[in-house]
Each structure stands twice: as structure tokens, then as C-alpha cells.
Amino acid sequence: MFVFSENSAYFLTLLSGISRIIGSIPTLATILSMSDTHTPSLVLGSASPRRRALLRRLGVCFETLPVETREIHNAADPVGTVVHNALAKQVPCRALRPDACIITADTLVWFDGRLFGKPRDLDEAADFLRAFSGRT
């Protein structure tokens, strides 16, 4: 989990599933060295274009397995929220690919006691930016 704090803004990101790189599951070094001819043992449980791009930039062979989950947004527990949301993605991915190293994540911004997720549209994105303007 990564937590960045600046003037009451907390950027929370959780990557879960890394601990599964043990036992019969290939090591991260093995996964990173795999060529495109191998079946990926690394699964990204996300539809995020940004997360896919980050893994591609690393030259990692991976499979994308986006799953539909119901996310929660609990401003009283921002860390619990991202943990819950990332694990909610992990469970169906694990059922489909039990032997893979699975990366799932959730990213939220917690600012002034309010959680900000992905904006629904450009108007909401503009509202978010106005809320942060001059305060971070």
C-alpha cells in the first residue's frame, strides 16, 4: 500500500496479490523475464489503461482480466475502502486463474474528509479540480 500525504490530501493505492509470488508460483524475476511466447503467469485484474501501460513499459508479459465488482466509498475509512475494493477484484480473478500472480488495485483521493474516485464525466472532473484548487 502506498499512502501520499500533503496538506490533508491522501492518495491511496493498494496493490494486492504480490504476496502470492511464493511456492509453486513463479518468482517476480521469472515473470519479468518471460517472453511473449510464454503463457503469462502475471494477471492484471483491472480494465485501467494506465495500469496496462505501466506494465507494458516494464516489458512484462501479462494477461488482463478485468472483473466487475461493486466498489464501496467510505470516507470514514479510506484505507479500508481501497483494501476492500482491491480484494473484491482479487477474488474473482483468483477463481479464474488460481495459479497466477494477480495484481489488483484501487486508487482514491481522500481530501477534506471526502473520497474522490474516478470522475463520471468532464463536468465532475472539473468540480474535483476546483475543490483542490489552491489547497494542495
Q: Can 106 be counted among the known catalytic residues?
A: yes
| Distance (Å, whole) CA 89 – CA 54 | 19
Out of 36, 106, 121, 123, which one is annotated catalytic? 106
Helix (H, G, I), strand (E, B) or coil at 55: helix
Q: 3-state SS of 68-136? A: CCCCCCCCCCHHHHHHHHHHHHHHHHHHHCCCCEEEEEEEEEEECCEEECCCCCHHHHHHHHHHHCCCC
| Distance (Å, whole) CA 67 – CA 89 | 6
| Distance (Å, whole) CA 16 – CA 8 | 25
Active site residue ranges: 106
